Amino acid sequence: MGSLLWTVIDDVLSLRLFGSGLLWMAKMCVFSQGWAHSHAGLKKTANHEQDTLNEEFSVKSQNDTDFWNRPRCGVPDYPTIKQLSTTYYNGKKRTGGLSRQQRRKRYALFGGRWEKTDLTYKIIRFPWQMSEDKVRSVFQEAFGVWGAVTPLRFREVTSEKADIIIDFNRYWHGDSLPFDGPGGILAHAYFPQTHREGEVHFDYDEQWTVGNNVGTDLLQVAAHEFGHVLGLQHSLEPDAVMCPFYSDTYPLQLSEDDKRGIQYLYGPPRHTPPVITETNEIESELPSACRTNFDAVSMIRGELFFFKSQYVWRIRDGQLQAGYPALSSRHWKGIPDHIDAAYDDKSGNIWFFEGDNYWVFDAERKITGPDSVRRLGLPVSDIQAALKWEEDHTEKVYLFKSGYYWPFNVQENRIEDIHPRSTHEWTGMPSHIDGAFLDRYGYANFLSGLHYWKFDPVALKVLEGYPRSIGMDFFGCSASLSK
């Protein structure tokens, strides 16, 4: 992927630390992968990168090469004078270990904070890859994770003066810290109580996306940058949003360490936040997952999505996620209320089928659709299921209907042969299929009615003990409710 840099700058009073040989000027944090140069010209070698980490990172991950290769802040984190008198930031093993206070407090504060809790923000320019509405939604969510655990409230303005200014810039843009085009520096932000407080800059030339490992995730970067603009430094907690290592883990959520840090600055919420309803508020009675014959199911980026009418259930690590079922349009605006099948391809794009049409989304951004399935060479409509699996390291997709299936060539986006193949040789398969997905163990799962069949793609037969109840196995329903 080349060098990946993510900068955060606070221009504070320069501090020369003679004893340590470190020079702290306009401090910057540079997220890098591999070898790169900071604006100060400091070359990042493997030893230097480890020496800049806090001791707990070093001890925890000294044998984890994957951990060290993740994008991270390549310039030492801002220390206190007291910390500089120890080996806390030099990556070497401390003989006395960490104190109880140091073990408990892993977040770091820059020192500045906003003196008010109602903050406004303004977006000056937008990235070319995403619609303005989508960018606004992303920033609302990124601010929202901080507002949910504090008294802070954020409001976008367009004409009045704003506290926080968000902009997408190219190359030199007025703050002596130029962007460098795709694949380099991603963004930088200024801490409170500096002469440029509230400024957040993103590189316009990056491939910004959301929930897609093909590009750079705007939601993850924005949440991290907004933490800095509120006064937080980097955290020692590897799972924290404020960890100096870039991550695109979904869903976005604060760690306990992030919460402790931001609440140290601003306190907890004054009251229970009101439930915010969306414009697509669910008004009708929700179908019960225990007694529902689902329209479709798909494994999307490691999470299982069940579809029924206009609703979707989301399961991660075997657990139904809070806030679900929800309207499918909450994620994918423009798909029909009922879908026949869905799958995600190797590029991370999500395909939906309904009737004679199909749609393709990049995460939650529509790429195309509705388009006729005839463009794919599919001779039938109303397919019942789409199943993706890998065979000999080659991605394959099968589209099912009425006991037959059509292999789909994912390189050419075309059906391989208009003449279908029979599922008759797939021993134990149900005659009618509502949905299909490949689980993490390599088994194909076929849904029909209230039950599912687990299929061994090597032996070409259903495993013993199947079919089983969808409601009981996936949603924890009792046997009486699943009949």
Point out the residues that are catalytic.
Answer: 225
User: Is 203 marked within a binding site?
Assistant: yes
User: Is 271 marked within a binding site?
Assistant: no
Helices 132-147/218-229 angle, 10° precision: 50
Q: What is the DSSP letter of 301?
A: T
User: Is 133 marked within a binding site?
Assistant: no
User: Is 419 marked within a binding site?
Assistant: no
Q: What is the C-alpha separation between 307 and 240, in angstroms, rounded? A: 32
Question: Pairing relation of β-strands 444-448 and 435-438?
Answer: antiparallel
User: Is 224 marked within a binding site?
Assistant: yes
User: Is 382 marked within a binding site?
Assistant: no
Q: What is the C-alpha separation between 6 and 179, in angstroms, rounded? A: 10
Q: Which two tokens stand for residue 470?
A: 């969808």
Which among 87, 88, 90, 53 has a CA at the least distance from the CA of 68?
53
Residue 226 main-chain phi, psi, to 5 deg: -65, -30
Integer Rg of the chain from CA: 25
How far, CA to CA in Å, does 250 sit from each of 147, 302, 423? Answer: 19, 10, 36
Q: What is the C-alpha separation between 470 and 291, in angstroms, rounded? A: 9
- Those residues with Cβ within 8 angstroms of residue 409's Cβ, 6 or more apart along the chain or in another chain: 415, 416
How far, CA to CA in Å, does 477 sit from each of 288, 292, 474? Answer: 10, 12, 8
Residue 262 burial (C-beta neighbours within 10 Å; 0-12, 13-18, 19+)? buried
Q: What is the C-alpha separation between 296 and 431, in angstroms, rounded? A: 16
User: Is 340 marked within a binding site?
Assistant: yes
User: Is 234 marked within a binding site?
Assistant: yes
Which among 329, 315, 338 has a CA at the least distance from the CA of 476?
315
User: Is 77 marked within a binding site?
Assistant: no
User: Is 173 marked within a binding site?
Assistant: yes
User: Is 337 marked within a binding site?
Assistant: no
Q: What is the C-alpha separation between 483 and 478, in angstroms, rounded? A: 9
User: Is 188 marked within a binding site?
Assistant: yes
User: Is 64 marked within a binding site?
Assistant: no
Q: Which two tokens stand for residue 367?
A: 């790429």
The owner of tokens 């699996």 is: 389
User: Is 206 marked within a binding site?
Assistant: yes
- Those residues with Cβ within 8 angstroms of residue 418's Cβ, 6 or more apart along the chain or in another chain: 377, 379, 406
Please tell me whether residue 279 adopts helix, strand or coil conformation: coil
Q: What is the C-alpha separation between 146 and 132, in angstroms, rounded? A: 22
User: Is 242 marked within a binding site?
Assistant: yes
User: Is 392 marked within a binding site?
Assistant: no
Contact by Cβ (8 Å): 434, 385: yes
What is the DSSP code string of 157-204?
Answer: -SSS--SEEEEEE-S--SSS----STTSB-EEE--TTSTTTTEEEEET
Q: What is the C-alpha separation between 305 and 313, in angstroms, rounded? A: 6
- Those residues with Cβ within 8 angstroms of residue 134's Cβ, 6 or more apart along the chain or in another chain: 210, 364, 365
Query: Which residues are annotated as part of the binding site for Ca(2+)?
Result: 163, 180-181, 203, 206, 295, 340, 342, 386, 434
Query: Which residues are annotated as part of the binding site?
Result: 163, 173, 175, 180-181, 188, 201, 203, 206, 224, 228, 234, 242, 295, 340, 342, 386, 434
Query: Which residues are annotated as part of the binding site for Zn(2+)?
Result: 173, 175, 188, 201, 224, 228, 234, 242
